[in-house]
Amino acid sequence: MNTLDRYITTHANRSILVVALCLISLITLFALLEELDDNQASYGLREAALYVLRTLPRRLDEIMVYSVFLGYLIALGRLAETNEITIFRVSGMSPWRIVRALLPSMMLWLVISLVLSEYVAPGSERSAEVNKLQAQYGEEASLRRGGLWIRNGNLYMRIRAIDKNGQLHDVTQYWLNQDTEMVQSTFAKTAQYNELKQHWVLHSGSTTLLTKEKVSKHPFEELIWDNPITPDLLASQAFLEPNKMSMLALLRQIEFARTQQLGVSEYELAFWSRALKPVTYFGLTLFALGVVMGPLREVGMGVRLTFGIFAGLGFKYLQDLFAPAAMVFNIPAVIAILLPISLYWCIAWVLIRRNA
């Protein structure tokens, strides 16, 4: 890295850091106020602050890409205002050479984002949700979760609660035949996963068989239930939304969803959004350089920030638009994630080529 690269990297990192601190401070304040709006008497300032603190890695990861984009707008805008970009160009530095000078700072923040999303945020997020429920409802926290439904072929099952040890409580299974008629139901007070034999053992329940002639009920103390879903998969479904999971957890959820013959799911969208994160970062980096060299070359910092905020919001709204469209129209998840990114890439490419 030569002197010019270090100079641009320093300016970029400084601006990105300031933007990230400002955004995360605002988001944290609003999140704390939202948590304090909870009507539970046992959920006070201390509990709300701990919840917000534990969810901070996920919130930081979510705003990181926009911090990088706004940071580049500010850093490159300052260089344009002082005519330093003009000097770079006159000295023979092409726009693509400036892009290469921006890559070290982009990679730094991308790595930070990946570490947060894959290793820090999922565990802290799950801990935050569990502790929040315990603060609100005490020992009955898991029972207040509202239950979890899963499907596996002709089996539909409702789980009332899952504890921290992976044990299921109040399990109700509904078995259907090929004509979607219920032929059997099973209820168990608890269910424990046997890791050695890789199956579930239902405890203290009964099975009800339904035929055209009669209905018979058979109690049991233990009953084997073969199913590919593990306690970790169930816990992730119960406590974490797809965008809060790691890529490994998302892959497991996707594999399980395929066994249930489901279409495009939120787990696939979340996985491809995470997998294509480097493409997103690079695309917004190009877009920031393109608008600074083009339409925002001679405007003030206020206009540049306003444009950056609306451009970032526009990117997010496009992502939020194509995601449900993918599930409704069965569009491949990777296509739905790539469409808004491709649009910004194309605009950036045109702007850079026009001013090259």
Phi then psi dihedrals of residue 216, to 5 deg: -120, 140
Q: Is residue 72 domain-resident? A: yes
* Structure confidence at residue 261 (pLDDT): 60
Asked whether 242 and 221 are in contact (CB, 8 A), the reply is no
* Structure confidence at residue 136 (pLDDT): 67
Distance CA 335, CA 323 (A): 10
Q: Residue 43, by phi and psi: left (phi above 0), alpha (psi -120 to 50) or beta?
A: beta
* Structure confidence at residue 144 (pLDDT): 46
- Are residues 131 and 275 located together in one domain of the fold? yes
Domain ends where: 206, 227, 248? 227
- Are residues 133 and 168 located together in one domain of the fold? no
Q: Is residue 309 domain-resident? A: yes
* Structure confidence at residue 133 (pLDDT): 72
Would you give the DSSP letter of residue 214? -
Residue with tokens 């078995």: 175
User: Radius of gyration of the chain from Cα atoms?
Assistant: 26
Amino acid at 231: P
Distance CA 251, CA 281 (A): 22
Burial 48-72 (b: 16+ CB within 10 A, else e): bebbbebbbbbbbbbbbbbbbbbbb
Q: Is residue 115 domain-resident? A: yes
- Total count of residues recorded for the chain: 356
CA separation, residue 292 to residues 78, 104, 304 (Å) = 10, 19, 8
Distance CA 50, CA 178 (A): 49
Q: Quote the number of domains for the chain.
A: 2
Domain ends where: 182, 202, 227? 227
- Are residues 12 and 107 located together in one domain of the fold? yes
Pairing state of beta strands 168-176 and 155-162? Answer: antiparallel
- Are residues 215 and 280 located together in one domain of the fold? no
CA separation, residue 86 to residues 4, 259, 262, 287, 301 (Å) = 14, 58, 54, 18, 18
Q: Is residue 234 domain-resident? A: no
Q: Which candidate, 88, 85, 102, 80, places its Cα nearest to that of 1?
A: 102
Q: Is residue 160 domain-resident? A: yes
Q: Is residue 196 domain-resident? A: yes
Q: Which residues contact 88 (CB under 8 A, 6 or more apart)?
A: 4, 79, 98
Helices (H), the chain: 3-36, 45-54, 56-81, 84-90, 95-115, 121-137, 231-239, 247-259, 266-275, 277-293, 301-329, 333-354
- Are residues 13 and 128 located together in one domain of the fold? yes
Q: Is residue 236 domain-resident? A: no
Domain ends where: 179, 201, 227? 227
- Are residues 123 and 178 located together in one domain of the fold? no
- Are residues 107 and 171 located together in one domain of the fold? no
- Are residues 16 and 130 located together in one domain of the fold? yes
* Structure confidence at residue 345 (pLDDT): 92
- Are residues 111 and 159 located together in one domain of the fold? no
Specify the CATH number for the domain of residue 223.
Answer: 2.30.30
Q: Is residue 350 domain-resident? A: yes
- Are residues 133 and 15 located together in one domain of the fold? yes
One pLDDT digit (tens) per residue for the chain, 356 residues? 588 889 999 999 999 999 999 999 999 999 999 888 766 667 788 888 999 999 999 999 999 999 999 999 999 988 888 888 888 888 878 888 888 999 999 999 999 999 999 999 988 988 887 777 777 666 555 544 556 777 777 888 888 777 767 788 888 999 988 888 888 999 999 999 988 888 899 999 999 998 877 888 899 999 998 876 788 777 777 667 788 888 988 888 888 777 666 555 788 888 999 999 999 999 999 999 988 887 767 777 778 888 888 988 889 888 888 877 777 777 888 888 899 999 999 999 988 888 76
* Structure confidence at residue 326 (pLDDT): 76
Asked whether 11 and 75 are in contact (CB, 8 A), the reply is yes
- Are residues 15 and 130 located together in one domain of the fold? yes
Residue with tokens 């249930």: 260
SS3 (DSSP) at 142: helix
* Structure confidence at residue 38 (pLDDT): 67
Tell me which residue range forms the domain holding 212. 154-227
- Are residues 206 and 62 located together in one domain of the fold? no
* Structure confidence at residue 107 (pLDDT): 96
* Structure confidence at residue 120 (pLDDT): 93
